[in-house]
């Protein structure tokens, strides 16, 4: 315990705090629709709305299939959506997605993309894929602060009871069984993309993961923490809220059957998945407009007319297209379309905090790429410089991840939007101080990034629910939809395939 005076002195320490986030002010104008009348007209065969991975992936598919008459519009000042990044004097850092696991061998389209990006370099003499070492996590990949010390690996190990050990082993054995389970037609029970999964296990979508665990006699504190952490990592929501199908999918969806010698690693970069968005952005060179918010859509028998507000020149434009693909989340689409009210699409808010720290932070102990703290609200922090090829001698840059796991995302979002810099600082430091009680002595600045609608919530009856299936359907073969929320699971692979699926539908393949 620190003496009170010293604590006060520490409390008075000042450093620069900056708040960023998605352009919610512009986004919220969709409610009022107080935009000027259009004064310009643009014609294109295909219009893609939204430059997240799904929108960019759709554009790549069009271009690869010789459909070059298309235009992409994006409301933000950059492409990438949730796969974007920031940069300060010392490092790039993700402001959203930060890694991609090794794909399944059946995922040929993703593997081909990795080949195009020179991440997958070919096969060796034994037929094993050769992957670019520099784009896979360097050691040490992860560590867990547990019982007052750092241990390697995220599974709690030191000093846990034999019961807990047995439960952990038993759980993973069960997941190995789920991983290979197929139905009579040869479909995996749990697959990526989700749409390829059999519905054989859809009853698991009716209960929460926690209920399923309790029914199966899993109760050790360490295992439940690990599973809660894992669910929050991919879904933002803990095991109390996600469906058992989603919880099991986290472990069983990835087959560990390609690049089998690399299964402990993931693809990552200092800027996170913005690297992958950059690769995809090559397909929209000179074919996109940033700062353009779509706010209305109307179609007749020949065309679709889309109204767009250019937030730089402050004018509205009319875009006339034969077909339009909305790669935007459904909470946005319901404001653009008059009759698209979806009540089950809920989104978990996230807060990402990037801290610049004096070089001495962490002491002699080397930071891992992923540093997780047992029992805290957050998901730990990423060492943003871990993948840098040059030795770091200056300041350190880390990004802390925190989702707001709740059954009332709307309330949590409102609270997050209202939090001031000092409150955000306390929220993040309370978490980090569990492992780094002196962290405040090292902070130079903190950038907070608020993501009000970070991830879709795969709560019971959502993934196999009727509403999600209906939301994916095109309108009159003219308007198409692609977004990770239509998968129910917010990961790169889902966005990538959503884009391909919708683009195929649009050009009639
Ligand atoms: C904090 C966080 C961490 C994550 N970490 C990972 C990770 O490590 N690995 C992983 O695989 N996935 C991760 N994800 C999931 C990530 O969201 C997906 O992988 C993927 O990037 C989502 O792509 P998308 O195209 O579905 O949607 P989005 O990224 O949401 O893209 C939608 C785009 O549409 C634009 N848009 C919205 N409305 C309009 C409008 N009216 N007009 C014009 N443009 C509009 C938005 O600005 C945005 O660019 C993370 C997500 C979050 C929030």
C-beta separation of 17 from 446 below 8 A: yes
pLDDT confidence of residue 483: 98
In this predicted model, what pLDDT tens digit does every residue of 470-495 receive, in sequence order? 999 999 999 999 999 999 999 999 99
Question: Strand, helix or coil at 358?
Answer: coil
pLDDT confidence of residue 1: 29
Test site for ligand 1: of 51, 56, 97, 413, most ligand atoms within 8 A of the Cβ: 97
Question: Atom 27 of ligand 1 has which residue's CA nearest to it?
Answer: 52
State pTM to two decimals: 0.96
Question: Atom 17 of ligand 1 has which residue's CA nearest to it?
Answer: 82
Q: What is the 451 CA–ligand 1 centroid distance (Å)?
A: 10
Cα–Cα distance, 330 to 327 (Å, whole number):
9
Query: Which element (helix H / strand E) includes 309?
Result: strand 304-310
SS3 track for 203-223: HHHCCEHHHHHHHCCCCCHHH
Q: Identify whether 27 is preceded by a cis peptide bond (ω within 30 of 0).
A: no
C-beta separation of 158 from 148 below 8 A: no
Could you write out the DSSP letters of every residue in 242-259?
Answer: SBHHHHHHHHHS----SS
Q: What is the 84 CA–ligand 1 centroid distance (Å)?
A: 8
What's the whole-number mean pLDDT along residues 2-13?
A: 40
Domains along the sequence of the chain with CATH: 4-24+87-96+346-456 (3.90.660.20), 25-84+272-344+460-507 (3.50.50.60), 99-124+163-266 (1.10.405.10)
3 has pLDDT over 60: no
72 has pLDDT over 80: yes
Question: Strand, helix or coil at 359?
Answer: coil
Cα–Cα distance, 390 to 407 (Å, whole number):
44
| Six-digit token string for 156 | 């709690």
Could you write out the DSSP letters of every residue in 382-393?
Answer: EETTTT-SSPP-
Neighbouring residues of 137: CB distance < 8 A, sequence distance ≥ 6: 99, 265, 266, 268, 369, 386, 387
In this predicted model, what pLDDT tens digit does every residue of 231-270 receive, in sequence order? 999 999 999 999 999 999 999 999 999 999 998 899 999 9
C-beta separation of 355 from 400 below 8 A: yes
What's the whole-number mean pLDDT along residues 282-289?
A: 98
In this predicted model, what pLDDT tens digit does every residue of 304-345 receive, in sequence order? 999 999 999 999 999 999 999 999 999 999 999 988 889 999
In this predicted model, what pLDDT tens digit does every residue of 374-427 receive, in sequence order? 999 999 999 999 998 776 668 999 999 999 999 999 999 999 999 999 999 999
pLDDT confidence of residue 12: 47
pLDDT confidence of residue 26: 82
In this predicted model, what pLDDT tens digit does every residue of 114-137 receive, in sequence order? 999 999 999 999 999 999 999 999
In this predicted model, what pLDDT tens digit does every residue of 442-464 receive, in sequence order? 999 999 999 999 999 999 999 99
Question: Atom 49 of ligand 1 has which residue's CA nearest to it?
Answer: 81
Cα–Cα distance, 218 to 220 (Å, whole number):
6
Q: What is the 352 CA–ligand 1 centroid distance (Å)?
A: 14
Test site for ligand 1: of 21, 52, 53, most ligand atoms within 8 A of the Cβ: 52
C-beta separation of 38 from 307 below 8 A: yes
Q: What is the 500 CA–ligand 1 centroid distance (Å)?
A: 16
Question: Strand, helix or coil at 240?
Answer: coil
Sign of the Cα torsion 126, 132, 138, 142 reads: negative
Q: Tell me which DSSP letter residue 182 carries.
A: B
How remote is the C-alpha of 157 from its chain's centroid? Answer: 28
Q: Which of 376, 374, 379 is nearest to 353 (CA)?
A: 379
Question: Atom 35 of ligand 1 has which residue's CA nearest to it?
Answer: 50
Tell me which residues have their CB closer than 6 angstroms to ligand 1.
49-55, 73-76, 81-83, 96-100, 273, 293-294, 327-329, 332, 350, 352, 451, 454-455, 483-484, 490-492, 495
């Amino acid at each position: 315990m620190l003496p009170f005076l010293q604590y006060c002195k520490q409390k008075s320490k000042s450093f620069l705090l900056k708040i960023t986030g998605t352009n919610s002010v512009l986004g919220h104008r969709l409610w009022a629709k107080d935009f000027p009348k259009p004064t310009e007209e643009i014609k294109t065969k295909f219009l893609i709305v939204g430059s997240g991975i799904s929108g960019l992936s759709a554009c790549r598919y069009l271009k690869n299939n010789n459909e070059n008459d298309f235009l992409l519009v994006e409301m933000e000042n950059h492409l990438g959506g949730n796969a974007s990044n920031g940069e300060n004097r010392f490092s790039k850092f993700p402001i959203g997605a930060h890694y991609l696991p090794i794909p399944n061998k059946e995922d040929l389209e993703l593997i081909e993309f990795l080949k195009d990006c020179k991440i997958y370099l070919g096969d060796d003499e034994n037929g094993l894929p050769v992957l670019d070492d520099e784009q896979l996590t360097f050691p040490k990949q992860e560590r867990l602060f547990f019982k007052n010390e750092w241990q390697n690996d995220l599974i709690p190990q030191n000093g846990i009871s034999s019961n807990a050990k047995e439960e952990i082993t038993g759980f993973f054995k069960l997941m190995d069984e789920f991983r290979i389970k197929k139905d009579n037609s040869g479909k995996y029970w749990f697959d990526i993309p989700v749409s390829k999964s059999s519905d054989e296990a859809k009853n698991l979508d009716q209960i929460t993961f926690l209920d399923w665990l309790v029914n199966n006699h899993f109760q050790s504190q360490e295992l439940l923490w690990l599973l809660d952490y894992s669910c929050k990592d991919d879904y933002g929501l803990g095991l109390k809220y996600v469906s058992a199908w989603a919880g099991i999918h986290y472990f069983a969806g990835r087959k560990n059957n390609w690049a089998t010698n690399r299964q402990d690693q993931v693809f990552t970069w200092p800027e996170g998945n913005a690297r992958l968005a950059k690769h995809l952005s090559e397909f929209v060179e000179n074919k996109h407009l940033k700062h353009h918010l779509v706010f209305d859509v109307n179609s007749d028998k020949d065309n679709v007319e889309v109204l767009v507000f250019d937030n730089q020149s402050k004018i509205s434009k009319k875009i006339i297209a034969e077909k339009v693909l909305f790669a935007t989340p459904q909470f946005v689409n319901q404001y653009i379309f008059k009759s698209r009210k979806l009540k089950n699409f809920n989104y978990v808010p996230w807060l990402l905090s990037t801290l610049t720290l004096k070089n001495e932070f962490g002491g002699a102990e080397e930071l891992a790429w992923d540093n997780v703290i047992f029992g805290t609200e957050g998901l730990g922090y990423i060492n943003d410089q871990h993948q840098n090829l040059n030795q770091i001698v200056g300041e350190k840059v880390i990004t802390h991840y925190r989702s707001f796991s709740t059954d009332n995302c709307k309330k949590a979002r409102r609270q997050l939007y209202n939090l001031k810099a000092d409150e955000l600082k306390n929220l993040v430091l309370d978490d980090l101080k569990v492992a780094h009680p002196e962290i405040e002595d090292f902070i130079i600045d903190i950038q907070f990034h608020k993501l009000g609608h970070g991830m879709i919530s795969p709560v019971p009856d959502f993934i196999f629910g009727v509403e999600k299936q209906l939301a994916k359907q095109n309108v009159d073969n003219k308007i198409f939809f692609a977004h990770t929320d239509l998968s129910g699971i917010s990961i790169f692979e889902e966005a990538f395939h959503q884009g391909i699926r919708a683009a195929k539908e649009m050009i009639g393949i």
